[in-house]
Amino acid sequence: MSPLAWTSVFLSLTTTLRANSVGESALTYQPQPYTINVDPNVIEEIRLKVSKYQPTPDTNAPPWFDGPPASTISSIAKYWAEEYNWTTIQTAINANFSHFYTTVSPTSPHYNASVDLHFIHERSPREDATPILLLHGWPSTNLEWRNIIPGLANPPNASDPAFHVVAPSIPGYGFSPALNGSRVNVTRQSYAAIFDALMQQLGYPQYILYSTDLGFGIALSLVVDHQPHIINHISDFYLARVTPSDQARFDANQTSPEETAYIQSSNAFFGPHSGYSHMHSTFPLTLAYALNDSPVGFLAWMYHIDQTVSDRPTSHEEIVTKALLLFLPGVYNNVRLYKEIFAPSTAWVPDVRFTVPTSILQFGGDMYYPDMANWTYRTANVTYFARHDKGAHFPAVVEPELVLGHIRTIFAE
Ligand SMILES: *[C@@H]1O[C@H](CO)[C@@H](O)[C@H](O)[C@H]1NC(C)=O
Ligand SMILES: *[C@@H]1O[C@H](CO)[C@@H](O)[C@H](O)[C@H]1NC(C)=O
Ligand SMILES: *[C@@H]1O[C@H](CO)[C@@H](O)[C@H](O)[C@H]1NC(C)=O
Ligand SMILES: *[C@@H]1O[C@H](CO)[C@@H](O)[C@H](O)[C@H]1NC(C)=O
Ligand SMILES: *[C@@H]1O[C@H](CO)[C@@H](O)[C@H](O)[C@H]1NC(C)=O
Ligand SMILES: *[C@@H]1O[C@H](CO)[C@@H](O)[C@H](O)[C@H]1NC(C)=O
Ligand SMILES: *[C@@H]1O[C@H](CO)[C@@H](O)[C@H](O)[C@H]1NC(C)=O
Ligand SMILES: *[C@@H]1O[C@H](CO)[C@@H](O)[C@H](O)[C@H]1NC(C)=O
Ligand SMILES: *[C@@H]1O[C@H](CO)[C@@H](O)[C@H](O)[C@H]1NC(C)=O
């Protein structure tokens, strides 16, 4: 059997196994209300595996020198096995948001098969509301938006703009099943076609985009392939590429102090920090054999990256929920997105000038903070730019009021 055939077998097995565990898929072309209801036996099987976790002994290396401290991972594993209660969390997620399930059928040269999606759709009661599509990344799901959804759909101040919020989980994340056909040629353009088809199905011909992380990669394809549909692209993770000529000036000591800081930060981000990303985007299946088999091993892998780009610790409950929501659909199905987003070229930001008005929010507190304003003007039609020295990689989780404040300012009458 060829390696590609193995990929499909593994994928369809995973899809079949998980389909029973994440609730009933409504195979329909109209959105149906959806209640998250994970099979308790699946949760218990995972908990049993967690309870058998074999701690890895720490070395004498300083904390985080080789990875997250073993004591932290053991403490999270103990919490997961003994205290974590998925039922309570599931009840809150169901109660707090309006969940839907649908099938979209994009008619794009980049993707034309049917795709099942889980999404939160919080329609504003306000008649003047504008649709907004929120695109998360990895390690995350549509719950990344939990703290800003209420304030977008129902702003407390009637003079602030209101939004019809659409927050899908990317296929293979949370309760959106993995793409079920061959994924050989899936790219970020495929996901752009899928999410535009969702917005069109919901009756939102034009909409605002808010993107982060891998969702930013999808957004860049949306603003090119579906440009007339996009009112504004807001991103809290706008990457500006260091070109070979920037690098050459840097190597020759010809860059300004600001440029030097930016290039050093970018090189650190795409250098050692991105080891995980290189693995995800080259041999995700090889990696997934281990990660898919060990809930704690996967949590530790994910936790390392999560904490590196956070400016504050995450609670045990939050990190376990995040890990579980990527473990349930099968880890392979979400880490593979790196390969898809980076294809066909490994350039995050292609050499294109994006004409869609672009609002860039830069949040610091992690490793990636130097002022990037001058860099973003190179590729984007920047109509709004703001920076904060906190919030890091998950500002919608940790600084929801700052994010909401900017969105309100951008769309103030
Ligand atoms: C989890 O919480 C639910 C209520 O949300 C409760 O009924 C159940 O007993 C709890 N499970 C455990 C194992 O404590
Ligand atoms: C649900 O809402 C309650 C308060 O309304 C909040 O305490 C809780 O954190 C929310 N849970 C989620 C998953 O958003
Ligand atoms: C869908 O895409 C496949 C593969 O790219 C192609 O062979 C097929 O003709 C397409 N079908 C339609 C209806 O466009
Ligand atoms: C609502 O917003 C308007 C315009 O920004 C402001 O003048 C007013 O004070 C705000 N009201 C409240 C209750 O915050
Ligand atoms: C993929 O899903 C679609 C729609 O849900 C279904 O019609 C099709 O048979 C599935 N394909 C495979 C290979 O499972
Ligand atoms: C993937 O793309 C290649 C090159 O464009 C093409 O030869 C191949 O048929 C495609 N495979 C599928 C499954 O669409
Ligand atoms: C750049 O500066 C560093 C030290 O600041 C020096 O070691 C290096 O030789 C310089 N490179 C060039 C090309 O001038
Ligand atoms: C941005 O570019 C301007 C003009 O070249 C320069 O004066 C300024 O220092 C730059 N700012 C940063 C943060 O790089
Ligand atoms: C940037 O967006 C604005 C607002 O839509 C538009 O008027 C302008 O033409 C765009 N500029 C470029 C260079 O695309």
Q: Give me the CATH code for the 3-412 domain, please.
A: 3.40.50.1820
Q: How many CB atoms lie within 10 A of CB 15?
A: 18
Is pTM beyond 0.85 here?
A: yes
Atom of ligand 8 nearest to the CA of 374: 1
CA–CA distances in Å: residue 261 to residues 242, 247, 308, 384, 387: 12, 12, 19, 22, 16
Task: Give the Å distance between the CA of 237 and the centre of ligand 6.
Answer: 31
Residue 20 has a pLDDT of 34
Nearest ligand 7 atom to alpha carbon 252: 13
Determine the pLDDT at residue 239.
87
Each domain of the chain, given as residue ranges in start order, spans 3-412
Counting from 1 in the atom list of ligand 6, the atom nearest the Cα of 185 is 1
Please give the distance, rounded to the nearest whole angstrom, from the Cα atom of residue 357 to the centre of ligand 9: 6
| CA 115 – CA 130 distance, rounded (Å) | 25
Q: What is the DSSP string of 95-119?
A: HHS-EEEEEE---BTTB-S-EEEEE
Dump pLDDT digits (tens) for 161-208. 999 999 999 999 999 999 977 888 899 999 999 999 999 999 999 999
pLDDT tens-place string over residues 72-116: 999 999 999 999 999 999 999 999 999 999 999 999 999 999 999
Q: What is the pLDDT of residue 347?
A: 64
* Six token digits for residue 365: 């507190």
85 CB near ligand 1 (under 6 Å): yes
- pLDDT, residue 344, reads 66
Distance CA(252)–CA(245), nearest Å, equals 11
Beta strands in 127-246 (DSSP E): 130-135, 163-168, 207-211, 230-235
Asked if pLDDT for residue 407 goes beyond 90, the answer is: yes
C-beta separation of 330 from 284 below 8 A: no
Contact 303, 75 (CB under 8 A): no
Catalytic positions, written as ranges: 213, 338, 393
Cα(128) to centroid(ligand 8), Å: 39
Q: How many CB atoms lie within 10 A of CB 230?
A: 24
* Mean pLDDT, rounded, of the chain: 90
Closest C-alpha to ligand 7, atom 6 = 253
**pLDDT over 60 at 52, yes or no:** yes
**Angle, CA 91 vertex, CA 132 and CA 319 arms, to 5°:** 75
Long-range contacts of 177-182 (CB under 8 A, 24+ apart): 177/15, 177/18, 177/19, 177/22, 177/25, 177/116, 177/329, 178/11, 178/14, 178/15, 178/18, 178/329, 178/330, 178/333, 179/113, 179/115, 180/11, 180/12, 180/15, 180/113, 181/113, 182/4, 182/8
The pLDDT tens digits for 233-262 are 999 999 888 889 999 999 999 999 999 999
pLDDT band for position 343 (cuts 50, 70, 90): confident
Least confident of 154-163, 179-188, 272-281, 384-393: 179-188
Show the ligand 4 pocket: residues with CB < 6 angstroms. 157, 159
| Ligand 6 site residues, Cβ closer than 6 angstroms | 182, 184-185
> Is-contact 262 361, C-beta < 8 A?
no
Give Cβ neighbours of residue 143 (< 8 Å, ≥ 6 apart).
Answer: 93, 174, 321, 325
Mean per-residue pLDDT, 41-51:
98
